[in-house]
Amino acid sequence: MIAASSMFIPLAAFFWGISGGIASILMESGWDALVVSFYRGFVGFLFALAWLMLRPHHSGLANQQLWLWSALAGLGVAGNFTFYFISIAHGSVAVAATLMYCAPVFVYLVSFAFKLERPTTAKWVAIAVVMLGIVLLTQLYEISASGLSLIGICAGLLAGLSYAVFIFGFKYAAPHGSPQSILSIAFAVLAITLILPSDTDQVLSALGSSQWHLFLILGVLGAGLSFVLYIAGIKRTTPALASMVAMIEPITATLFGVAVLNESLSIIQIVGMGLILVTVTALSVTSSKA
């Protein structure tokens, strides 16, 4: 059982990486990023709700604090999904996934602002290195020749910021109820938030389209099964190890983009990606040991 559970987090990260590639295929077929994000989250909601029905004990659903923080987590994951897919549509899967992986940097900056964590020289240096990595990865110094757009770059960073909001929401909701309750509320908020601005015709036509199976796979791998695996794995894995294996997501997304979507990265971009992945992982590991 212990050996099997040790694979939960890397498997979840692998699924998240694959989901970016599937979303890219759907958007290249003409589906709007909001619609793709909605179905990813809605399938996740069905999984979380089924988990809650199977294990209803200590749900905490009567606690107002649980609903408040879970709703915040839902807004965060809604922004994360949407901005991530917008970044993919205006750039590449590899760049979008790596920019999103900068989420721990935003967590640090928010923690510094609200005095939840003490800033140190080492942390500021690490953040500066990540910023350098972003410049190299996105080729901001030569944006016209990089094949990327400012929309794609900003959306990727906003995806990371949104994920940081999800992390805070989930963290503060956790003492008030079960993980399955938090995810059920969060994904319900996501579905409501994204269905309102989405193209109704596309939402309905997706169900009967020839690509319905891709929407289903995206939801299962990108939200339903992956979040359940991640939460189950984090209980049996040290935070430091979890931070390191989470790096599988941007690596998987990059390989998917290169192998399936014919994307490519320059040597300078690969160096920038390496700076980001190594530094953010080191920041996460250091924070978990503190």
pLDDT recorded at residue 1 = 44
Residue 221 has pLDDT above 90, yes or no: yes
SS3 27: helix
SS3 108: helix
Residue ranges of alpha helices (H) inside 90-178 are 93-100, 103-113, 121-138, 143-146, 150-173
pLDDT recorded at residue 212 = 96
pLDDT digits (tens, 9 = 90+) for 42-68: 999 999 999 999 999 999 999 999 999
Residue 122 tokens, joined: 């080492």
**Mean pLDDT, to the nearest integer, of 98-125?**
81
**Mean pLDDT, to the nearest integer, of 252-256?**
85
**Mean pLDDT, to the nearest integer, of 86-108?**
84
Computed over every residue of the chain, the mean pLDDT equals 86
pLDDT digits (tens, 9 = 90+) for 113-158: 877 778 888 888 888 888 888 888 877 666 554 556 788 888 998 9
Greater confidence (26 vs 164) lies with 26
Phi-psi group of 213: left, alpha or beta (phi > 0 → left; psi -120 to 50 → alpha; rest → beta): alpha
* Domain extent listing, the chain: 2-289
Instruction: Kindly report which listed range (3-17, 57-71, 139-153, 160-174) carries the lowest average pLDDT score.
Output: 139-153
**Mean pLDDT, to the nearest integer, of 11-34?**
94
pLDDT recorded at residue 71 = 98
Which pTM value belongs to this model?
Answer: 0.84
- For residues 14 and 181, the answer to whether their CB atoms sit within 8 Å is no
